[in-house]
Amino acid sequence: MKGKREIIKELRKKLREYFPQMQVFIDDNTITKDDWVFFGRIIYRLMECFISTPEKAIRRSRAQLNKVINFYKKEVRVRKLVLKSEVFLKENNIDGESLQDHLVFYQDHLDYWSMRHASTELCFDYEIHLYLFYKWMDNYEFDDFYQRELVLSLMELCSYYGSRYFDTERLQTEKDVLMSEMKVGSELLRVLDYAIEKWSDDEEIPGSEIETLVDEADAHLN
């Protein structure tokens, strides 16, 4: 199996081959530095998913799903409690209607992920990162076919155990489902290790930088 740096190096060649206009977008700041960093983190996490063994992938998938559900449960619970107190809302100058809208948003996402948890079909950990990848690429209108070709290339470079089950047609089918059904908000970056700088011995990046990444994700997800 290739090392991570070698995989990234080979994948950069594929990026230049499939999306020659990408460098133009970077040069003219259509793709900002912060957004490029965000894309790099998406790719890195996909790579980590694809180099995992089946056993590790299942453990990670279950752990990720539990982390997501616990996050949304907490956010729903806190907002429900706050909405019960008119005094707290007034003392902290909180708009009740806006908070109710946020509650509906988080409850909707909680319901979706609870449904995935209850399903007999395993929710693989790569799905969220693949969803973010497609969102990012689609927002810059990069060719849909070559998006899927890049994913296949990454699977091959990572010697992904499940790659034999994938082709561009299956990826298109899965993409259609992901884009129409998956519930992912930028707030999930806080619990999906996007605050970890993988190139610096897994040190946490400054809080201001994770806020920047959340802002970039907002631009793609909203």
Any domain includes 130: yes
List, for residues 142-185, the tens digit of each pLDDT value: 999 999 999 999 999 999 999 999 999 999 999 999 999 999 88
Domain boundary among 78, 103, 118: 118
Whether 70 and 101 share a structural domain: yes
Work out the number of other CB atoms within 10 angstroms of the CB of residue 147. 21
What is the pLDDT averaged over residues 203-207?
40
Query: What confidence score (pLDDT) does residue 2 get?
Result: 79
Any domain includes 92: yes
Place of tokens 């990826």: 171
List, for residues 108-136, the tens digit of each pLDDT value: 999 999 999 998 887 888 999 999 999 99
Any domain includes 207: yes
What is the pLDDT averaged over residues 80-99?
95
List, for residues 17-50, the tens digit of each pLDDT value: 999 999 999 999 999 988 898 898 899 889 999 9
* Nearest CA-CA partner of 136 in 203, 69, 77, 220: 220
Whether 51 and 70 share a structural domain: no
Whether 158 and 212 share a structural domain: yes
Task: Please state the pTM of the whole predicted model.
Answer: 0.86
Whether 131 and 215 share a structural domain: yes
Q: 94 with 88: CB under 8 angstroms?
A: yes
Quote the percentage of the chain above a pLDDT of 90. Answer: 65
Question: Band of the pLDDT at 194, cuts 50, 70, 90?
Answer: low
Number of domains in the chain: 2
* Nearest CA-CA partner of 127 in 142, 141, 112: 112
Whether 134 and 43 share a structural domain: yes
Query: What confidence score (pLDDT) does residue 20 get?
Result: 94
Sign of the C-alpha dihedral computed for residues 85, 87, 92 and 98 taken in this order: positive
Token pair of 185, please? 């908000």
Average pLDDT, the chain: 87
What is the span of the domain harbouring residue 112? 66-118
**Taking each helix axis from N to C terminus, what angle separates 4-18 and 144-157, rounded to the nearest 10 degrees?**
160
Whether 139 and 51 share a structural domain: yes
